[in-house]
């Protein structure tokens, strides 16, 4: 999956400028259900008041590893019980449809 975007907003104030380049990110599917970034490329020119600055950057993401943990939630010294059917059962991340 390929996405293209830009961090916003560019900030121009009396204290200085904080401008962001456009980027393209490629994601690959892992474990048949999770999409993780594997490559991000930036090749853009930022237009500062002191002059233009060309930015080129490549980020490669690799060696993803599955991580797990056990969590116990307490509130005022008492353990909060898990929801029915949820104990010791990892939940997949929720997807938001927009």
Instruction: Please calculate the CA angle 3-96-11 and round it to the nearest 5 degrees.
Output: 55
pLDDT at 77: 82
Residue 27 burial (10 A CB sphere; 0-12, 13-18, 19+): middle
Residue bearing the bigger pLDDT, 78 or 92: 78
Between CA 7 and CA 62 the distance in angstroms is 23
pLDDT at 65: 87
Q: What's the pTM?
A: 0.63
Tell me what the pLDDT averaged over the chain comes to: 86
Between CA 20 and CA 98 the distance in angstroms is 25
Between CA 80 and CA 83 the distance in angstroms is 9
pLDDT category at 42 given cuts 50, 70, 90 is: very high
Tell me the mean pLDDT in the region 18-46: 95
């Amino acid at each position: 999956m390929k996405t293209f975007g830009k961090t916003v907003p560019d900030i121009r104030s009396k204290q200085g400028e904080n401008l962001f380049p456009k980027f393209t990110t490629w994601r690959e599917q892992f474990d048949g259900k999770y999409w993780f970034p594997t490559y991000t490329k930036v090749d853009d020119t930022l237009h500062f008041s002191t002059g233009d600055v060309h930015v080129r950057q490549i980020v490669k993401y690799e060696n993803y590893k599955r991580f797990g943990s056990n969590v116990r939630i307490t509130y005022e010294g008492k353990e909060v019980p898990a929801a029915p059917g949820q104990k010791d059962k990892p939940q997949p991340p929720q997807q938001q449809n927009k």
